[in-house]
Structure 1
Amino acid sequence: MIAPVGAQLRKGVAEYCILGSLSREPMYGWQLADALKRPGLIASIGTLYPILSRLRKRGLITAFEKESGTGPVRKYYQLTPAGEHELKAFREQWGPFVEAVTEMVGANSDGKH
């Protein structure tokens, strides 16, 4: 069975969306999941933690614990220098990639597909 197109697209860019989110500020799991669920980039928090684990194993992010002030200690994630480098490389390739795909699958000038 072929996965729906949206799921395949999300799977391909989810790691980079996480890196992009963490480039702005360190975030804890639920905070990051909410930021990614709103635009539909992940289905649930359950899909986030395996991705975070892979990113940690690849040395692209690291985790640290911090008091929340309102409850238990939270685990925050942040980019490593390797993660910053990976994100920079992705950003350089993303624009040309989107343009190429749009040209290949986009509508003709007369609006027909």
Structure 2
Amino acid sequence: MNIENTQVQMRKGILEFCILHIISRGEIYASDILKELKDAKIIVVEGTLYPLLTRLRKADLLAYNWKESKLGPPQKHYTLTEKGNEFLQKLNITWNELVASTNKIIQNKRETIEIPTLEEIKLKKK
């Protein structure tokens, strides 16, 4: 089994949640969303973001406005709709429940297992 595949699937599972959180802070340009996701190592491929933004917009969770740019053509700036804010609030509840449940499992003290970090695993392979 390939660890990278599992890591990618975990990131994909939280991608929409992270995008909605970023946009919830205020109007934002798609490339700024992409930069934040890349910096957080949540997304690395630009082609992943735009279809998601389109799907979220079609679900009426996002809206956009065109803004003039001094550097080129007009840019789409995204905001959350009221429905998007409500959806994000529900996802926050789900996220908090998921984190609590996962932590409960991970921190179960019945059997102590040392879990190495990814860096330690990579060092052992060398």
- After TM superposition, the score normalised by the length of structure 2 is 0.79
Cα distance, 1:70 vs. partner? 2.8
Unaligned ranges ≥5, structure 1: none
Which stretch shows the higher mean deviation, 27-36 or 68-77?
68-77
SS in 2 for 1:50: helix
User: What CA deviation, in whole Å up to 9, does each residue of 1:11-51 have, x standing for no partner?
Assistant: 11111111100010111111110011111111221110011
The residue number in structure 1 matching 2:122 is none
The residue number in structure 1 matching 2:72 is 71
Flag the structure with larger Rg.
Answer: 2
Cα distance, 1:111 vs. partner? 3.8
Structure 1 runs of 4+ aligned residues shifted over 2 Å read 107-111
Cα distance between partner residues in 2 of 1:24 and 1:107:
32
The residue number in structure 2 matching 1:91 is 92
Tell me the number of residue pairs that the alignment of Structure 1 and Structure 2 aligns. 112
Residues 30-109 of structure 1 correspond to what in structure 2 (within 5 A)?
30-104=31-105, 106-109=106-109
> Does structure 1 residue 15 correspond to structure 2 residue 39?
no
Cα distance between partner residues in 2 of 1:98 and 1:38:
22
Unaligned ranges ≥5, structure 2: 115-126
- Computed over aligned residues only, the root mean square deviation of the Cα atoms, in angstroms, reads 2.0
Aligned-pair identity in percent equals 36
